[in-house]
Amino acid sequence: MLRVDKGLAHLAQEYKSDPLNVFPRPDVQVLLRRLMVADARGHTVVVCLEPGKAWSLGRHGACLGDELELEGEIFDTLEAALWACFRVRWRALTGAECPVE
């Protein structure tokens, strides 16, 4: 299994440059799968508040069926919301901030 750490900063930077790329390089795909593999409980997701205009981050509840809890920040682009979600998941997986701002 891929060990996610600051040595993968170049992959994080590549994702940040084009988070909407549906066919990223295989090593970026592996990183994304590693960040996404988790039980949905407590997991951070991107939530569309207004199609094409506003997104936020949300967190699944601890139990199946719990309401999604919205975070406070609102993003005006899907790309910004995806990058924020990536950074939250990186921190959750590694215990450290993502090395790419």
Other Cβ atoms within 10 Å of 28 Cβ, number: 18
Residue 51's pLDDT is: 96
Distance CA 75, CA 94 (A): 24
Q: Which residues of the chain have pLDDT under 70?
A: 1, 38-41
Would the pTM count as exceeding 0.75?
yes
C-alpha 49/C-alpha 61 separation (Å) is 18
Q: Collect all residues with Cβ–Cβ distance below 8 Å to 98 and sequence separation of at least 6.
A: 9, 12, 86, 87, 90, 91
Handedness of CA 60, 63, 42, 34 (dihedral sign): negative
Residue 11: name the closest of 40, 32, 38 by CA. Answer: 32
